[in-house]
Structure 1
Amino acid sequence: MAAALLVLAFFHLAIFSRLAFRRQESAPDHDLPVSVVVCARNESLALQRLIPLLMDQDHREFEVIVVNDRSDDDTWEVLQWMRPEYPRLKPVNIQADEKFSYGKKIALGVGVRSAKYPHVLVTDADCLPVGRDWVSLMAAGFKEGRQIVIGHSPYERQPGLTSLLERYDGFSKAVQYIAFAQAGLPYMGVGRNMAFTSDLFFGAKGQHRHRQLMSGDDDLFINEVARANNTAAMADGRSYMTTRATPDLATWFRRKRRHYTTARFYRFGHQLLLTLLPAARMVLWATILYLLFTGHVQAALAGLAVELLVFLPIGMMAMRRLGAGAIIWLALPLEWLFLLLDPCIYLSTLIIKPQRWK
């Protein structure tokens, strides 16, 4: 148990505490020109909600590039209809070609190539900014020569078990990748709220690398190019992009399975750290239970006290910084659930390969 406590102490005191105890407010940068890129496939209704909110951003110089990625609904017609009303809107069309099979990465590359400005901010059509300072706050992350800005994209709250699991999983993952980035160890970002320079994207061949993967290429792009000196993490609540909730448990399960296909491509050091954290949690709880059942009550209570008085409050405060709200009071039982659920989902990807996204 001592080894598990030491590992967890490192993660909580050296990494997660940066997010939990530091003020996360930032000063918006209203002046940096920014190209916002949105990749959309069959998202005509979502775009009618998103585009007016993007156009209402309190930022001096920006454009919104929407890449219609082989949609077979009326997405392209909606974009053409909205274009005269919004001069900043720049629709780009990709036509379907049965000879080629490719995912979102190509659409993103087309959008970045179409960008007028070197600083590119990306999101998805099913996301909504929480306020008018989203662009300016993400732009502020580029100060001091930074080339990558990692943002947060929480899932919208809906009633039911699926939303509870999805939101907790999203917040716990965000605590990890944002706190790691703040500690100088960036390892991933989400394509729903992320910014980078076009030079970095094309210099790393971001359009073409990992095209064979079904999801998570935004994770791997960040994992390859992000370093302590070129990456900023934005945790200001005004910089968030809320994401549409997953409709049902089966869809969420499939998405979780697809995401596991990318972790094996992370740099070895990141894989090691991300494996140590849940492993230490499992060892700690298993040891506490073992000690209780074998009569070593004092030792079990000592380990439990460290968890409940040190580790759990830090984790809850970090999640609260990211806007988790009341879900933090369920952090402990949900942690137990995911300690059992995540290995099962990962093993399922080894038995049945996830289907490729099209």
Structure 2
Amino acid sequence: MLTVLFWIFVAVVAIQFLYYIVVFGKFSFVKAKKNNLKKIPISVIVCAKNEAENVTKFIPLLIQQNYPDFEIILIDDASSDATLDIFEAYEKEHANVKLVKVVNNEAFWGNKKFALTLGIKAATKEYLLFTDADCYPTSPNWIAEMSSHFTMQKTIVLGYGAYEKIPKSFINKIIRFETVLTAVQYFSWARIGKPYMGIGRNMAYKKEEFFNVNGFIDHMKIRSGDDDLFINQAATRKNTTVCYTSDSFTYSEPKTTYKEWFTQKRRHVSTATFYKSFDKMQLGLFFLTQLLTFILPIILLAFQFQWIAVVSLVAFRYLFSWISLGFGAGKLNEKDVMFWYPIIEIVLIFTQLNMFVTNLFSKPAHWK
């Protein structure tokens, strides 16, 4: 039995090597592509529900973007605070700001996808750039950087949405490490030609891509997934590209407690169950081999079975995974999280396992 477990462990390390070096290497070990800036007309779309404080801080940063031809579509999704009043003031002050007011609809109560659909239809430009109400661009060249990756063939652009750094906060390091790992995964698979997700904090696509798949109609009843489920359905090898130059990043305020973050991530995990079969398989295999990377060595070492070989394989696995993620984190300006990599990875793996089990017995909350 121990011999069987040992060879399973060898296979697990080999699979992990394929993920970290072969797959993730498509992102980690490749330089960011700097494209020539374009002047494509862009509609920036922001959907907000009870975000008065955030929109007051962040919408001015969108208005100040250094780009020749863009409009901002502000969607108020039946807010009960001052969000609508703030949006109306922006619309009066700026000619390129357009307000979309959404009232509660019994058939689509509290459904962000319904609100986004109205905003997309109201956009007058053919190219759409999305971010969230609690996000802000890292540079006045955000629109320019993201739009520069559009071509005649590439009509979907996946960007990176980071979280702010909180000094001396370990939960912040966990959150940012998980964000880096997720980005390395979806950037890498997109570069391979198998895009499976994007993030609503920073992504762009041509309006025709939305209507080609009838918008969110196939997953309208699923409250989450206006970003990743749409990309999972619409993105292909031919129409999708990635943008990860530093000026293209957006930032959000992260959760500050483990409980808040756990609740947030439960929604993301539950949405992944609706991905295409291949995408669920490759994500499931990656997580399973990560989990077995910790469980199998503990069992083998407890019986001192081939302990030199087991320790060597564990060290080898840490070496290539640390190198791969380290290069990826460097591209995303997140190098500091890698100093805590071994500890954070263990916490993250067993947190994800807890999320999966928890979601089996209760449904996570969604849009406000």
Shorter-chain TM range is over 0.9
The 8 Å contact of residues 28 and 133 in structure 1, kept in 2 or not, is answered as no
1:288 maps to which of 276, 285, 297: 297
Could you list the runs of 5+ residues in structure 2 that have no partner in the other structure? 1-8
Shift of 1:284: 2.5
The 8 Å contact of residues 19 and 321 in structure 1, kept in 2 or not, is answered as no
C-alpha distance in 2, partners of 1:22/1:341?
30
1:146 maps to which of 154, 157, 174: 154
Question: Which residue in the other structure is 2:74 paired with?
Answer: 66
The 8 Å contact of residues 128 and 206 in structure 2, kept in 1 or not, is answered as yes
C-alpha distance in 2, partners of 1:325/1:6?
26
* 2:185 is the counterpart of 1:173: no
The 8 Å contact of residues 37 and 111 in structure 1, kept in 2 or not, is answered as yes
* 2:259 is the counterpart of 1:250: yes
Of residues 43-52 and 218-227 in structure 1, the stretch that sits farther from structure 2 once superposed is 43-52
Question: Which residue in the other structure is 1:303 paired with?
Answer: 313
- Note closer, same or farther for the CA distance 1:57–1:30 as it changes in structure 2 (3 Å cut): farther
- RMSD between aligned alpha carbons? 1.7
Shift of 1:209: 2.8
The 8 Å contact of residues 284 and 303 in structure 1, kept in 2 or not, is answered as no
Aligned-residue sequence identity (percent) comes to 30
The one-character-per-residue Cα deviations of 1:289-329 (angstroms, maximum 9, x if unpaired) are 33333222221122023213222211222122112131111
Letter in 2 for 1:181: A
Letter in 1 for 2:140: R
Question: Which residue in the other structure is 2:3 paired with?
Answer: none
* 2:318 is the counterpart of 1:316: no
The one-character-per-residue Cα deviations of 1:6-50 (angstroms, maximum 9, x if unpaired) are 211211222111222211142352411111100011112211222
The one-character-per-residue Cα deviations of 1:70-109 (angstroms, maximum 9, x if unpaired) are 0111112112222233221111111234565141101111
Letter in 2 for 1:280: T
Letter in 1 for 2:335: G
1:346 maps to which of 337, 341, 356: 356
Shift of 1:254: 1.3
Of residues 105-114 and 279-288 in structure 1, the stretch that sits farther from structure 2 once superposed is 279-288
C-alpha distance in 2, partners of 1:161/1:65?
36
Question: Which residue in the other structure is 2:86 paired with?
Answer: 78
C-alpha distance in 1, partners of 2:16/2:31?
23
1:195 maps to which of 168, 190, 204: 204
Pairing 1:32-51 to 2, within 5 Å after superposition: 32-51=40-59
Letter in 1 for 2:90: M
1:222 maps to which of 231, 247, 253: 231
C-alpha distance in 1, partners of 2:211/2:166?
38
C-alpha distance in 2, partners of 1:134/1:179?
22
The 8 Å contact of residues 204 and 225 in structure 1, kept in 2 or not, is answered as yes
The 8 Å contact of residues 186 and 227 in structure 1, kept in 2 or not, is answered as yes
* 2:130 is the counterpart of 1:122: yes
C-alpha distance in 2, partners of 1:98/1:210?
17
The one-character-per-residue Cα deviations of 1:236-282 (angstroms, maximum 9, x if unpaired) are 11101101222433222111111122111111111110011121122
The 8 Å contact of residues 57 and 133 in structure 1, kept in 2 or not, is answered as yes
Pairing 1:99-118 to 2, within 5 Å after superposition: 100-118=108-126
- Note closer, same or farther for the CA distance 1:223–1:88 as it changes in structure 2 (3 Å cut): same
The 8 Å contact of residues 217 and 262 in structure 1, kept in 2 or not, is answered as no
Q: TM-score, with normalisation over the residues of structure 1?
A: 0.95
Letter in 2 for 1:94: V
Question: Which residue in the other structure is 1:12 paired with?
Answer: 20
- What count of residue pairs does the alignment treat as equivalent? 358
The 8 Å contact of residues 289 and 300 in structure 1, kept in 2 or not, is answered as no
The 8 Å contact of residues 216 and 230 in structure 2, kept in 1 or not, is answered as no
Q: TM-score, with normalisation over the residues of structure 2?
A: 0.92
1:134 maps to which of 142, 164, 171: 142
Could you list the runs of 5+ residues in structure 1 that have no partner in the other structure? none
SS at match of 1:58: coil
